[in-house]
Amino acid sequence: MTPTTLAALAAVLAATGGYLVYSSIDTARAGAVAEAESAAVPPRSPDERFRLWASRAGLGTVRPVEFAAAVVTLFVVGGLAAYALFGGVIPALATGAALASSPVATYRARRRVRVAEAAEAWPRVLEELRLEIGSLGRSVPQALFGAGRRVPEEWKPAFSAAEREWLLTTDFARTAAILKASLADPTADAICETLLVAHEVGGADVDARLADLIDDRVLDLQGRKDAVSRQAGLRFARRFVLIVPVGMAAAGMAIGTGRAAYGSTGGQLAVLVAVASVVLCWLWSSRLMQLPEEPRVFR
């Protein structure tokens, strides 16, 4: 084999090796988010399937027994109250079904409140990151996990999982992907991407980037608080309107043969339509008053 052939073969092997190394690194980084989001084993037991459904439905970590007890209790209480009021099976079933669906909205509202309260901590967490990276001179992972020990309880499992991944692999790209997938928050996405760039390529503008994020979070939180305060009267009026149909039904029973009219076929259908209308109007008003969520650009 001639020297020229050996040189060409060595060049081909070197190029192939370089390509394989680069592609492996690039594939690992590109698939970090997908791997983090699909790290959990597909649910097999009913309890695991319920937890997955509750998480996707925005219910948080509610237990199946607790959720089932709330649904059954409200269905029975609502059905019995409607039967005593209207004296029919159809209104009782419709009212019971409408009340049985309220735990979903209740748990979602509670989770939104907890997430909103936790989101108020982002400016403080970012200030701690600036302090540890800029003033104390700590590395990006150390600063992140140091600030993560003082986050709200809602976030601590996510930071613990990310820190455990860092201690096992020292792969900050994978660690940031796990943290983003666990928190599922646009602010967390922006912070993780900023810290990831600072960790991999460095840069003297990390402090300025974090300062910009702090200003953005403060403005966003203030705007949302103003919007919620302006909707306080509307929310009270919407809840008060639910009392009106019940009062009108009670008044109709006290006039002449009102209860007998409710017991007829036409009365039963009218009550069914009324219950359905109240539920649809409640859902429609909830959608109108829902504040827009910030999109996850770096998901």
DSSP codes joined into one string, 259-294: HHHHHSHHHHHHHHHHHHHHHHHHHHHHHHTPPPPP
How many independent structural domains does the chain possess? 2
pLDDT the model gives residue 265? 77
Burial letters for 22-50: b for 16+ Cβ neighbours within 10 Å, e otherwise?
eeeeeeeeeebbeebeeeeeeeeeeeeeb
Q: Where are the beta strands (DSSP E) in 27-98?
A: none
Q: What's the chain's average pLDDT?
A: 74
pLDDT the model gives residue 267? 77
Would you say residue 175 lies in a domain?
yes
pLDDT the model gives residue 250? 72
Higher pLDDT, 296 or 136: 136
128 and 92 in a common domain? no
SS3 state at 59: coil
Between the ranges 40-44, 63-67, 129-133, 259-263, where is the mean pLDDT highest? 129-133
pLDDT tops 80 at residue 61 = no
CB-CB contact of 185 with 158 (8 Å): no
Q: Which residue has the tokens 């019971």?
A: 96
Would you say residue 17 lies in a domain?
no
Query: In 87-204, which ranges are continuous DSSP H helix?
Result: 89-100, 102-119, 122-130, 140-148, 156-169, 172-183, 186-201
277 and 250 in a common domain? yes
Choose one of 210, 228, 246: the last residue of a domain: 228
What does each C-alpha distance from 290 to 22, 110, 175 come to in angstroms?
A: 46, 14, 33
pLDDT the model gives residue 10? 46
CB-CB contact of 294 with 186 (8 Å): yes
- Give 128-187 pLDDT, tens digit per residue: 888 888 778 888 888 888 888 888 887 888 899 999 999 998 899 999 999 888 887 888
Would you say residue 21 lies in a domain?
no
Would you say residue 99 lies in a domain?
yes
Would you say residue 158 lies in a domain?
yes
pLDDT the model gives residue 45? 66
DSSP 8-state assignment for residue 135 = I
Higher pLDDT, 1 or 245: 245
145 and 224 in a common domain? yes
Would you say residue 190 lies in a domain?
yes
Q: Which residues contact 89 (CB under 8 A, 6 or more apart)?
A: 83
Residue span of the structural domain in which 284 resides:
46-116+231-288
187 and 220 in a common domain? yes
- Give 91-132 pLDDT, tens digit per residue: 788 888 888 877 777 777 777 777 777 778 888 888 888 888
| pTM for this prediction | 0.57
107 and 247 in a common domain? yes
Would you say residue 27 lies in a domain?
no
196 and 146 in a common domain? yes
H/E element, 77:
helix 64-86
Choose one of 228, 249, 270: the last residue of a domain: 228
Choose one of 188, 211, 228: the last residue of a domain: 228
Would you say residue 192 lies in a domain?
yes
